[in-house]
Structure 1
Amino acid sequence: MGEQPIYSTRAHVFHIDPATKKNWVPTSKHAVTVSYFYDSTRNVYRIISLDGTKAIINSTITPNMTFTKTSQKFGQWADSRANTVYGLGFSSEHHLMKFAEKFAEFKEAARLAKEKSQEKMELTSTPSQESAPGDIQPPLTPESINGTDDERATPDASPTSEPRTEPLQNALSLSHSSAINKHWEAELEALKSNNAKLTAALLESTANVKQWKQQLAAYQEEAERLHKRVTELECMSGQTNVIKSHKTELNHTIEELESTLKAKEEEMERLKDEVENANELQTQRDSIAQKLQETEMRNQDLESQLQEVETRLESSQLQQEAFRKNLRTLLEILDGKIFELTELRDSLAKLAECS
C-alpha cells in the first residue's frame, strides 16, 4: 500500500448544511478517529475518517486550504473538491492545536510537492508541445484525401511537362496547337477537380479535428471521474486494517453470542426435560393423592367398624362382668349350701354313730 497513516486523533465530525450554508450537521453520533494519510506514490496528503465502513471525511490537502480555529475546541476547513466544509469538535484545546499544527505542516508539504510536480510538468510538456502540430497535421495531408494515384500524379507531372512541351509547340505546326490547348484545358479541369477534392477533404479533416477535441474533452472528464473513484477506493483500501479489526471484533462477538445462544438452548432443553419430569411427577402425585384419598375413605370405614366392634366389645365385657358377678353370687350361695349339707352330713354321721 502506498498510503500510510502518519497522525491520528479523535473528534466529533460535522458537515456544513448544504441548504443553509450556516448550520452544522453532525455526521457521527460519537467521537471517531480522524487520521492524516500520506500517499507516497502520488505525493499527496489526505484527511480520512471512517464511521464504521462509511467514509465521513475524505479530503485531499491543497496549498490553498486553511484550517480555522473558531473556538477553543472547534476548528473547520473548506474543501472545494468535495464542495463542503468540514468541522471537528475536540475534547481539549491541546488536541485542536496539535491538529492545526499538523494541518499547517502538511499544507506546506503539499505546496512544495505541487511546485515540484509543476516543474516536472513544464520540463516534460516542452517537447510534447513542439510535436503537437505534427499530431494534427496527418489528417490534413494529401495522403489522407480520397482519390486515385493517377489523379494525384497528374498535377506533379504537369510542371515537368511544360518545359518539354514549349519547345515542341514552337517546332510543331499551328494545326497541333489547338490539340495542345485542349489537352491543357483537360489538365486544368483535372486540377480544379483535385483542388475541389482537396478543399472538401480539408473541411472534413477540420470537422474531424473538432470532433476529436470533443472526444478528448469527454475522455478527460471520464479520466477525472475515474481518478476520483480510484481515490475513494484507495481511501477504503487505506482503512483495510481498521475494517479487518472491526470484522475480527464482530466475528468474536458473533462467536460469543453463538456460544451464549447454544448454552441458552441447552438450558432450555434441560428445563423442558425438567418440565416433562415435573409433569410426570405431578401425574404420579395426582395418582398417589387419589389413592391416598381412597385409603383415607377406607380408613374412615374401618374406624367406624372399629368403633362398632369396640362398642360391641364393651357391651360384651359388661355382660360378661354381670355374668361373672351372678356366677360368683351363685357360687357363694352354692358354697353356703354345700357347707350346710356338710354340716348336715356330719350331724347325720354323728347320729348314726351314736345310734
Structure 2
Amino acid sequence: MAQGGEFNSRVYADSPTRSLPLLCREQPIFSTRAHVFQIDPTTKKNWVPTSKHAVTVSYFYDSTRNVYRIISLDGSKAIINSTITPNMTFTKTSQKFGQWADSRANTVYGLGFSSENNLLKFAEKFAEFKEAARLAKEKSQEKMELTSTPSQESATGDMQSPLTPESINGTDDERGTTPETPQYLPEPRAEPSQNQLPFSHSSSSINKHWEAELAALKGNNAKLTAALLESTANVKQWKQQLAAYQEEAERLHTRVTELECVSGQMTVIKSQKTELNQTIEELESALKSKEEELERLKEEVESANEFQTEKESLTQKLQETEERNQTLEAQLVELEQRLEGSQLEREAFRKSLRTLLELLDGKIFELTELRDSLARLIEGSSS
C-alpha cells in the first residue's frame, strides 16, 4: 500500500475515456492493491472480473471541486472511476471481499483483497471520505441558503482527471482472493450532477463588453440627437419671440416718447413708463435665460460629437479584437491537428514496440529450447 503526495501533472493521451481532461489536478491520498470485479449488467447477480491480476486501487481528492474519487487502471484502461457521494455504502461481504454501488455508473464494484487488514483499511477510508463528502454537500447547501441564489456545480461528476498506469498500478503481481458469495446490494440513487457551466473565453467577454458600451453610446447618441432637434425648434421659436419682444420694446419706447410730449399727462406717463421699464427688464431677463439655455445645448451637441468619435474608436477596437480571435482560433485548430497527429504517431510507435517485444520473447523462448536441447545432447553423448 502506498499513501502518496501530489499526483504528477502530465498529459495522458491514451485514456479511453473521452470525458477525462488532459491535465490532472488531483492528489492520491490512499492506495492499496486488489482484484477488481463488476456486477453482471444482465443478471445483476454474478461478478465479472475486470482485471486479470491485482491492480492498484486509489482514493483521489480534487481540491478544486472538493470531491473524492476511487480510481483504478489496468494498463491504459480505467476499470474503476467512481465519485464518492454521501449516499454510498461500502459493504463487507466476506473476510477479503467488499462492494459498493455507484448509481452514476449504474453498476456495483467489488474488490478482492489479499488480507482482511487491507479490506478493513479500505473500508475505513471509504467511511472517512464519505463523511467528508457529506459535510462538503451540507456546507454547499448552507451557502446556497445564505445567498438565496441557485448555484451550479463547477463540473459534473462525470468530469474526471486522467491517470497514468505508472502512478496508479504497481509492478508487483499480487494475487487477491475472488469473491466467495457475490451479493448485489441496491443503493439509493444519488442526485444527478448538474451540467457544467459553459466557460467563456476572454475574447468573448471583451466582445460583450465592447458591444454593451457600443449599445449604450448608441442610446446616448439617439437621446442627444432628439434633444438637439428639440432645441433647434425651440431656438427658432425663441428667435421669433425675441423679434416680437424687440418690436414690442420699440413700440413701447415710441409710446413713452409720445406720452412725455404730453405735458398734461405727466404723472400718468411716468407711471406707464415705470411699468414699461419693468416689462422690458423682465423680457431682457427671459432673453438672457434663453441665451444661456442655447449655450448649454451647444455644449451638449459638442459632447454628442465626442461620443460619436469615441463610438467609432470602440467599433474599430471591436473589429481588431474579432480579427485577433479569428487568428487565435485558426492557430488552435492547427495545434489540435498537430497534437492528434503526434498522438497517432506515438500509438503506432508503441504498437511497433509491442510487436518487437513479442518477436523478441519468441526468439528468447526458441533459444532457451535450443539451449536445453543442446544440453541434453551433451549429457547423452557423455553418458
Report 1 or 2 for greater relative contact order, CA contacts < 8 Å, sequence distance ≥ 6: 2
Structure having the higher Rg: 1
Name the TM tier (shorter chain): 0.3 to 0.5
Give me the TM-score of the superposition, normalised by structure 2. 0.37
Give me the TM-score of the superposition, normalised by structure 1. 0.40
